[in-house]
Structure 1
Amino acid sequence: MLLPWLAGLGTGLIFLHCLQKLMFPYFWDDFWFLLKVISYGVQMQMYRLRGQLDTVLEKFLRHAKRQPHKPFIIHEGQIYTYQDVDKRSNQVAQVFLNHSSLKKGDVVALLLSNEPDFVHVWFGLAKLGCVVAFLNSNIRARSLLHCMLTCEPRVLVVGADLLGTIEEILASLPKDVSIWALKDSVPQGVISLKQKLSTASEEPVSRSHYAVSSLKSTCLYIFTSGTTGLPKAAVISQLQVLKGSAGLWAFGCTADDIVYITLPLYHSSAALLGIGGCVALGATCVIKKKFSASQFWNDCKKYNVTVFQYIGELCRYLCKQPKREGEKCHQVRLAVGNGLRSDVWTQFLDRYGDIKMCEFYGATEGNICFMNHTGKIGSVGRTNFFYKLFFNFDLIKYDFQKDTPMRNAQNWCSRVKKGEPGLLISCVNNKNPFFGYAGSYTHTKNKLLFDVFKKGDVYFNTGDLMVQDEENFLYFWDRIGDTFRWKGENVATTEVADIIGMLDFIQETNVYGVAVSGYEGKAGMASIILKPNKSLNLEKFYEQVVTSLPSYACPRFLRIQEKMETTETFKLQKFQLVEEGFNPLKISDPLYLMDNLKKSYVPLTQELYEQIISGEIKL
């Protein structure tokens, strides 16, 4: 009796296994990943119940005691152990404790490149309980001054290589902001942090300075373009830093990994996922000042890199490199990032070997994220019944002509069907709060949608269009509104338009992004109307944008129009312009191309257009 029963049981199990593979092929992938996420939440809750609010800084200090001699940062061949970084950040804390009036909760702005001192100063200020604001090292003049005024810092710390950038706005800064530079020789009015660090104590400061009473307390400001206007200071809580730091672990990284970070540390991806992720694991990171496609794989081999962070553009650059011998001879097993196109994804794997590409989706200030834990090419992640219990999100219909979510006769929003692009929105509640932006509440309110499906509900508007397929995989489709992405950065069209509008021959400007074959994101294009009796000065136009904007925000294309269409709410119409692109055969208006060699804009001929499309001309 037993043998037939066991045979029947075995047959039944095999049948169930086959049925599961057929009907629910991703069941176990989803189950184990969800279990991992839940275990992390339980761990955080256990700390809270014991009266211990565990932060990334606390994790770092534990590693500094447990593994003091383990490399934490490698930069240009120099190794900084966990103990080294702990002592150096102690010195930073001691300097500001003894030579400034900084106190817990004060804001300090950082304008530093990718270097170990970025982490030293960040952690040192965190040990004093300061809120640290990461400034984009590419911005300058008006935008930089705006960021400074927005986060209202008591102190600005600037790197030696960026001191010239600050000198441009020094006279316009509030008088109560003290400027500290990581340089021995500094101009009048600037304090040398480097000199003071040379004699500072390495003794730790009292834990009372950095102990937190709530994980929802603010610890960082990270600037993001949001959807409109100048950069905004996204409020980053201790809770968000903890969640961000869990990303590498969730994708399967361990303490034995060596993570290569070439992305800018002023962004959340490199700072929270990269540096924070290494701290959470007790792993090692290699920091590169700037990404270099030609040096990338040499660095990976030199430092025994096992994981690297990417944006889609980075992988595309690597695929464009000349082929070499032994391209698959490396130790890289994982790559974590976002914005990777399906075609580049496939090409990258074919060329560089069996690397698990861990694509994710998330906004700096957002309360929703997706992680592609299955490795499905092209997808940013997937959802299921259990995921929606923790993260309540929806994809809603969007009116591209009116540039606003669609609402029915009862003024409610409608969900899209599977396979249709929809605006990604995420419910704001106690479980998934939205902390907003520093400064005016208007910026925070503009990122929220109210009364979406019922009276009183509130949703975070990501500004991103997504598609959900029949298998519940999610795919990024496009960006809406007044922001587009180029060279891995968000470009705020209104900021660019404001800069162009300062020219005395410009009457009206409409800035938008256009798709370019072979490139990630969209290239900037400005459509302008000239003032009556004024002529177009292409050299002056070029000088205005390159001196006032980061290189990634400068419009690559220029279009001259006689009139501009507006929406029903009198907003400039972009949809048709985006659709028309920059093809001179389809557009009768004069078109121009940015030419850095001539330091001007030149007429965009059909020949130049074809050279851009073929990749002969690089943008």
Structure 2
Amino acid sequence: MFVVSLLLGGMIICPLILSVFFPYFWTDLVYHTELLRILLKFLSRRRRRPLFLALDRFSEQVATRPNKTFIVFENKRYSFKDADRESNRIANALRVASVLTPGDTAVLFLLNEPAFIFCWLALAKLGCACALLNSSIRARSLVASFSCCRGAKVLIASEELQGAVEEVYEDLQQEGLTTVFITSEELRSSRMKSLTRAARESSDAAVPQTLRANVSFTSPAVYIYTSGTTGLPKAAVINQTRLLAALAVLASNGVTDTDVIYVTLPLYHTAGFLVGFLGSVETGSTIILRRKFSASRFWDECRTHKVTVIQYIGEVLRYLCNTEQRASDKEHDVRLAIGNGLRSDVWREFLKRFGRIEIREFYASTEGNVGFLNYAGKIGAIGRISFLHRKLFPFALIQYDTERDEPLRNSRGLCVEVPKGQTGLLVSKITEIAPFVGYAQNEQQTEKKRLRDVLKHGDVYFNSGDLLRIDHDNFIYFQDRVGDTFRWKGENVATTEVSDIMSMLDFVEEANVYGVQVPGHEGRIGMAAVKLMDGAEFECKKTFDHVCRFLPVYARPRFIRIQSSMDVTATFKQLKLKLVEAGFNPSMTSDSLYFLCEREQTYISLTLSVYQQIVSHSIKL
């Protein structure tokens, strides 16, 4: 009897002791059990023969749930079987056209539409990789993005993007383009072909598996573009192994085939493609696909389609919090929100207003080899670290010299780790489990991301370019980015690319671009300090037309500061710190300031009155 009482007492007391001294013990245990399960499943798939790829998981879903709704887009529904047939038609059309052979790369320049998914499936069935171009890019950026995939000859574009392709058609030809397919019946040029018509006239018979016989785990599967400090877009190589691992993201967060996923983020982005689309391929869940995010229609569509899972970047949830309050705000079926970049105050406001939705904030980058997940729900944190996580994916936070723009090193030439509570540069060891493939046709930028002799002589780490901090409870927080990039509207903007575009104006001698904070807004918005040619005047309308032609909306400098000279270092690097601190406040400088006014379609003088309207949100950005 005494022994039984002792055991019962222990069963009651032990959990209480654990909850007091180790408050996250059970949460950690559940997460790490799931982490090991995912790893074992991944390794099991890696051992299967013939090779088991992400495409094969889609084929399994077609076989087990052919009539289950896979995609809902506007007024149309597509089952898994429908998607399989549509992608077969596209693949067979491309085979008949003899424009692609196994191992080739095709370029997708598509908006969010079912054709995006069907085209990727078709190319995967043909044993081809594909590059996912940002649908906002134009002119020089479009040509540069295409040229990243050396050897690409085929481009598939949306009907609405024909004009952008036509504008640089000759330049694309010089980069090797031979064929342009448009996902429409209507064509604006005889130099383009209708993929819609060709697919309709093609068979929906299965594509021979022999076409992808030479595909290996190291074969490029997708190229996803990311902006770095060099300016023009870089194509991060996502190989078949990375694609296979990406299948687990939604499933590891409890998503099942009963869930309905609302995908409003661009499919050309890592979040939309790897998390939203491939996550649904793994789980067999339904995708509600939208062309663009709409804050005003968001919750109505969630209710209409009985959405249970939403994706976000920080801005998305802020936009939702800024909409007019309704009595129905908490009347929905959404139970899970997964994404990154969520500010603490927005996090709290979102939960208060829209109800008890589980937030799964994570940290990851397109080309990176480490990620974190805030599975414990700690507001403001991007993840939680542990011994097991560090063992599988070794990383460190190291001291960083922001003035010299490089890591600090000790007398032995090694990097110095920061203690808990202090901010450091995230670097992660490049291993077989955590590889870094790099950028297509850009070994110079690939090498710049490799940091050598970090903790031991001879080791190699991936340089994330992000400054993070770990608290004493082992939660990790994002602090800032290093280098010449800033983030606005969920997009990374390379300042050197914007500077180059600004310098194309014939009255601009030099432009120094940087990001400035605006109260109440996520990230930093673009601002350019400009030195004019001798005797020249700033031309407001011409500048407006120029940036609108060559830059996507999120990269256009909203503020311009006219300077008589540029501050530079001894090595002629532009100084930004004082400019960033002054921001766009007219009272902080005697220089002339201008604001990009979309209503008047020009740059206008940034007076104190305009400044106050921006800060008070009377003028929307």
Normalised TM-score (structure 2): 0.97
Partner of 2:76: 78
Partner of 1:415: 417
Aligned-partner residue type, residue 165 of structure 1? A
Comparing 115-124 with 577-586, which one deviates more in the overlay?
A: 577-586
CA distance in 2, matches of 1:374, 1:163: 46
The answer to whether the Cα contact below 8 Å between 1:53 and 1:212 also exists between their aligned partners in 2 is no
CA distance in 1, matches of 2:171, 2:179: 13
CA distance in 2, matches of 1:369, 1:227: 21
Partner of 1:6: 4
1:160-200 superposed Cα distances (whole Å, 9 cap, x missing partner): 11111101111212255211111223212111111111111
Task: Give yes or no for the alignment of 1:205 onto 2:207.
Answer: yes
CA distance in 2, matches of 1:279, 1:11: 47
The answer to whether the Cα contact below 8 Å between 2:42 and 2:245 also exists between their aligned partners in 1 is no
1:356-415 superposed Cα distances (whole Å, 9 cap, x missing partner): 011111001110111111111111111011110011111111222222222233332211
Comparing 413-422 with 348-357, which one deviates more in the overlay?
A: 413-422
CA distance in 2, matches of 1:533, 1:142: 29
Task: Give yes or no for the alignment of 1:404 onto 2:402.
Answer: no
Say which of 261, 264, 267 aligns to 1:262. Answer: 264
The answer to whether the Cα contact below 8 Å between 2:103 and 2:215 also exists between their aligned partners in 1 is no
The answer to whether the Cα contact below 8 Å between 1:365 and 1:436 also exists between their aligned partners in 2 is yes
Partner of 1:39: 37
1:31-82 superposed Cα distances (whole Å, 9 cap, x missing partner): 2212212112212222333424322110111111111100000000311000
1:423-442 superposed Cα distances (whole Å, 9 cap, x missing partner): 11111121211010001210
1:208-223 matches, within 5 Å, as: 208-211=210-213, 214-223=216-225
**Deviation of residue 499 (structure 1)?**
0.2
CA distance in 2, matches of 1:568, 1:218: 42
1:3-25 superposed Cα distances (whole Å, 9 cap, x missing partner): 22222233334333222112221
CA distance in 2, matches of 1:580, 1:465: 23
1:432-463 superposed Cα distances (whole Å, 9 cap, x missing partner): 11010001210111112112222211111111
Say which of 343, 346, 355 aligns to 1:344. Answer: 346
Partner of 2:379: 377
Q: Name structure 2 gaps, 5 residues minimum.
A: none
What's the % identity of the aligned pairs?
Answer: 45
Partner of 1:367: 369
Task: Give yes or no for the alignment of 1:142 onto 2:143.
Answer: no
CA distance in 2, matches of 1:80, 1:188: 31
The answer to whether the Cα contact below 8 Å between 2:313 and 2:490 also exists between their aligned partners in 1 is yes
Partner of 1:160: 159
Comparing 342-351 with 16-25, which one deviates more in the overlay?
A: 16-25
Partner of 1:171: 170
Which SS does the other structure have where 1:260 is aligned? Answer: strand
The answer to whether the Cα contact below 8 Å between 1:245 and 1:274 also exists between their aligned partners in 2 is no
1:502-513 matches, within 5 Å, as: 502-513=504-515
Aligned-partner residue type, residue 184 of structure 2? K
Aligned residues: 617
Say which of 312, 315, 320 aligns to 2:314. Answer: 312
Partner of 1:541: 543
**Deviation of residue 587 (structure 1)?**
2.3
1:63-462 matches, within 5 Å, as: 63-152=61-150, 153-174=152-173, 176-186=177-187, 187-211=189-213, 214-462=216-464
Comparing 522-531 with 51-60, which one deviates more in the overlay?
A: 51-60
**Deviation of residue 93 (structure 1)?**
0.8
Distance 1:185 1:76, change over 3 A: closer
Distance 1:574 1:539, change over 3 A: same
Say which of 483, 486, 508 aligns to 2:485. Answer: 483
The answer to whether the Cα contact below 8 Å between 1:402 and 1:568 also exists between their aligned partners in 2 is no
1:250-299 superposed Cα distances (whole Å, 9 cap, x missing partner): 11111110000000000011011100000001111100001111110110
The answer to whether the Cα contact below 8 Å between 2:139 and 2:550 also exists between their aligned partners in 1 is yes
Comparing 12-21 with 104-113, which one deviates more in the overlay?
A: 12-21
CA distance in 2, matches of 1:70, 1:211: 29
Partner of 1:527: 529
CA distance in 2, matches of 1:613, 1:166: 38
Which SS does the other structure have where 2:466 is aligned? Answer: strand
1:487-520 superposed Cα distances (whole Å, 9 cap, x missing partner): 1111111110000011111111111111111111
1:509-563 superposed Cα distances (whole Å, 9 cap, x missing partner): 1111111111111100111111222221122111111110001100111112222
**Deviation of residue 212 (structure 1)?**
5.8
Q: Name structure 1 gaps, 5 residues minimum.
A: none
Say which of 545, 553, 578 aligns to 2:555. Answer: 553
CA distance in 2, matches of 1:558, 1:253: 46
The answer to whether the Cα contact below 8 Å between 2:183 and 2:196 also exists between their aligned partners in 1 is yes
CA distance in 1, matches of 2:297, 2:35: 36
**Deviation of residue 244 (structure 1)?**
2.0
Which SS does the other structure have where 1:121 is aligned? Answer: helix
The answer to whether the Cα contact below 8 Å between 2:468 and 2:477 also exists between their aligned partners in 1 is yes
**Deviation of residue 568 (structure 1)?**
4.8
Say which of 559, 584, 587 aligns to 1:585. Answer: 587
Which SS does the other structure have where 1:215 is aligned? Answer: coil
Aligned-partner residue type, residue 98 of structure 2? S
The answer to whether the Cα contact below 8 Å between 1:447 and 1:462 also exists between their aligned partners in 2 is yes
The answer to whether the Cα contact below 8 Å between 1:96 and 1:102 also exists between their aligned partners in 2 is yes
The answer to whether the Cα contact below 8 Å between 2:127 and 2:215 also exists between their aligned partners in 1 is no
Which SS does the other structure have where 1:585 is aligned? Answer: helix
**Deviation of residue 213 (structure 1)?**
5.1
CA distance in 1, matches of 2:419, 2:612: 38
The answer to whether the Cα contact below 8 Å between 1:467 and 1:476 also exists between their aligned partners in 2 is yes
CA distance in 1, matches of 2:615, 2:411: 44
Which SS does the other structure have where 2:588 is aligned? Answer: coil
**Deviation of residue 590 (structure 1)?**
2.0
Which SS does the other structure have where 2:587 is aligned? Answer: coil
Aligned-partner residue type, residue 154 of structure 1? K
CA distance in 2, matches of 1:235, 1:341: 30
CA distance in 1, matches of 2:223, 2:313: 22
The answer to whether the Cα contact below 8 Å between 2:421 and 2:469 also exists between their aligned partners in 1 is yes
RMSD (Å) for aligned C-alpha atoms: 1.4
The answer to whether the Cα contact below 8 Å between 2:99 and 2:179 also exists between their aligned partners in 1 is no
1:22-33 matches, within 5 Å, as: 22-33=20-31
